Amino acid sequence: MNAKPETRADVTIEFRSVEYHVPGTLSHPILSQITLKILRGETVVLLGRSGSGKTTLLRLINGVLSPSRGDVYVNGRAVAEQDPISLRRGIGYVIQEAGLFPHYTVAENVGLVPGLEGWDTKRISARVEEMMRLVGLDPREYAERKPRELSGGQRQRVGVARALAADQPILLMDEPFGALDPVTRTELQREFAALARRLEKTIVFVTHDLREALRLGSRIVLLAAGQVVADAGPEAFLRVDHPEVRAFAVSFEVGSEARA
Amino acid sequence: MSLWTFFVSHREEILEATAAHLFLVIISMALAILIGVPLGMVLVKRKSLRAFALGFASVLQTIPSLALFGFLIPLPFLGGIGTRTAVIALVLYALLPILRNTVVGLTNLDPAVLEAAEAMGMTESQILLRVRFPLGLSVILAGVRTATVITIGVATIAAAIGAGGLGTFIFRGVAMVSDVVILAGAIPAALLALAADAALGLLERRLRVV
């Protein structure tokens, strides 16, 4: 990461004492006391077990959910005060199983957001071709296929291409490689790590896989029971003194032994 | 008199009744689709209203068809004797399967697809027209198919309130205690229902996406 002092303009996403519980319920909050700054160009991995609140945190960024208390800021402005449609058009989004439109071809899926943004057809098709090559899919072979004619790994590549197509500065990824077999997953993680370094985007990446977090993150934020319990770079993360970090570290070592 | 000779000697009358029957069905189905599909679209985002509308349509369908025709006769403007009353009753009957399937087709989608559509910044109407509608179309069409088959059958009863159609033969046959005359209405009606079912089933499979 760069060493220059942080200025206001460098903060892309900010959580200020955010609390979230499901509206209309008095249940235990899903997130509480979240204060977090994400700088431009960082790849922040939100790590946590199922139910730790990491996906909820992600959905507060693009305004799909609204905080019960506190505020979320994107590009210096409160999410609550921004038009949700134009906010989301400025944020790429990738989810598990890709969420591709089954009635669209690969090219139509990738060109969706540029189309919504009113790009002309020529520019869209050039961009679609570029994006498909970027994620390692030959446009001549795959552009006209439907998602059901692709493997899981290929669908996920299309999902990434779709999220990058409108060249948004922010990318949100919710366990994008979670449903893939281990070999394909590792392959996509490697390629994506290289891609992320080159693209200089602000990326927020949700996972429950410590190995993936260490491989991709320039910073790892660990959530447990709706709170941030650790926040460190990949080298320092495993040395953080917190029971949840140790719990992840133990499962990681057990996993490595089993694979060895 | 055999069935065959009756068909041959009354073929013009049977053809006319079939045409009148088809006319009743087509008008009623067109109106039911024009009401049911947009209503279903409106209900996608209004959950409480959805339960009420589906409940109301279900109640309409539980009314025995002969009774529904009877109820409509004394009503001013809507009721009376003849085609108009029959069409109104048939529309009310066809509404439930169309409305229900429209709501199911538009809402029962892969949540990941809807999540992606929302997160990519599609507006509600873009999601409705570009995602929900094309993906739900085969389910909506299945509702239209069910409604068409029901309407072809129920339309025979419309003859009881003077709307004509193939039911004329059935009622006449019952009055004359003649199986042949009943069948002269019932067989073409059954054939119409089978043909409509097959044709719409074919279209439905064509439009299925996954």
pLDDT tens-digit readout, B51-97: 888 888 888 888 888 888 888 888 777 777 888 888 999 999 899 99
Q: Which of A21-30, A133-142, B25-34 shows the lowest mean pLDDT across its residues? A: A21-30
Residue B125 lies in a domain: yes
Q: Is A98 at the interface with chain B, CB within 8 A?
A: yes
Q: Total domain count for chain B?
A: 1
Q: List, in sequence order, every beta strand (DSSP E) within chain B.
A: none
With 50 as the cut, is the pLDDT of residue A2 above it? Answer: no
Q: Does residue A260 register a pLDDT over 50? A: no
Highest mean pLDDT among A105-109, A197-201, A209-213: A105-109
As a whole-number percent, the residues of chain B with pLDDT over 70 amount to: 98
Residue A201 has pLDDT above 80, yes or no: yes
> What burial letters (b/e) apply to B46-83, b meaning 16+ CB within 10 Å?
eeeebeebbeebeeebeeebeebbeebbeeeeebeeeb
Instruction: Compare CB distances from A99 to B115, B123, B135 and report the shortest one's residue.
Output: B115
Task: Give me the pLDDT at residue A253, please.
Answer: 73
**A-interface mutation test, from B120, B122, B208, most A Cβ less than 10 A away:** B120
Rounded to an integer, the average pLDDT of A82-106 is 92
Tokens of B38: 């947009």
By residue range, what is the domain housing residue B28? 11-207
Cβ(B5)–Cβ(B67) under 8 Å? no
Residue of B nearest to A94 (CA): B116
What are the pLDDT digits (tens) for A230-239? 999 998 998 8
Establish if B168 belongs to a structural domain. yes
Average of per-residue pLDDT across B166-190: 92
- Do residues B175 and B189 lie in contact, with contact meaning Cβ atoms separated by under 8 Å? no
Q: Is residue B26 part of a domain?
A: yes
**What backbone torsions phi and psi does residue B176 show, to the nearest 5 degrees?**
-90, 0
According to the model, what pLDDT value does residue A1 have?
45
pLDDT for A8 equals 59
A31-39 and A202-207 beta bridge pairing: unpaired
> What b/e sequence results for A77-95 when a residue is b if at least 16 CB atoms lie within 10 Å of its CB, and e otherwise?
eebeebebbebbbbbbbbb
Reported confidence tier of residue A82, pLDDT bands at 50, 70, 90? very high
Cross-chain CB nearest to B120 (options A96, A97, A112): A112
Residue B20 counted as domain residue: yes
Cβ atoms of residues B89 and B158 within 8 Å: yes
Q: Which pLDDT does position A251 carry in this prediction?
A: 82
Across A174-184, average pLDDT: 87
ipTM for the whole complex: 0.85
Residue A256 scores a pLDDT above 80: no
CATH number at B55 reads: 1.10.3720.10
Burial of A62 (0-12, 13-18, 19+ CB in 10 A): buried
Place of tokens 């693209």: A199
Confidence (pLDDT) at A28:
81
Give yes or no for residue B150 having a pLDDT over 50. yes
CB contact under 8 A, A88 and B112: no
Mean pLDDT of chain B: 90
A101 in B contact zone (CB under 8 Å): yes
pLDDT at B37 over 90: yes
Minimal Cβ distance to A116: which of B122, B209, B210: B122
The proportion of chain B whose per-residue pLDDT surpasses 90, expressed as a percent, equals: 64
Flag whether B4 is in a domain: no
CA nearest neighbour of A206 among A13, A78, A50, A98:
A50
How much is the mean pLDDT over chain A?
89
Of the candidate ranges B55-59, B146-150, B192-196, the one whose mean pLDDT is the lowest = B55-59
**pTM score:** 0.85
**SS3 label, residue A151:** coil
Assess whether pLDDT exceeds 80 at residue B198: yes
* Residues of B in Cβ contact (< 8 Å) with A116: 120-122, 126
Instruction: Determine the residue among A56, A86, A110, A116 to mutate to test chain B binding: the one whose Cβ has the most chain B Cβ atoms within 10 Å.
Output: A116
Given a contact cutoff of 8 angstroms between Cβ atoms, the answer to whether B163 and B86 are in contact is yes
Looking at the domain assignment, is residue B3 inside a domain?
A: no
Question: Residue A71 — very low, low, confident or very high, per pLDDT cuts 50/70/90?
Answer: very high
Q: Does A155 touch chain B (CB under 8 A)?
A: no
> Quick check: A62 and A206 in contact, CB under 8 A?
no
CB contact under 8 A, B120 and A102: no
Res A5 pLDDT > 60? no
In a domain, B1, yes or no: no
Tell me the per-residue pLDDT of B89-134, one tens digit each, with 9 for 90 and over: 999 989 999 999 999 999 999 999 999 999 999 999 999 999 999 9
- Pairing type for strands A11-20 and A31-39 reads antiparallel
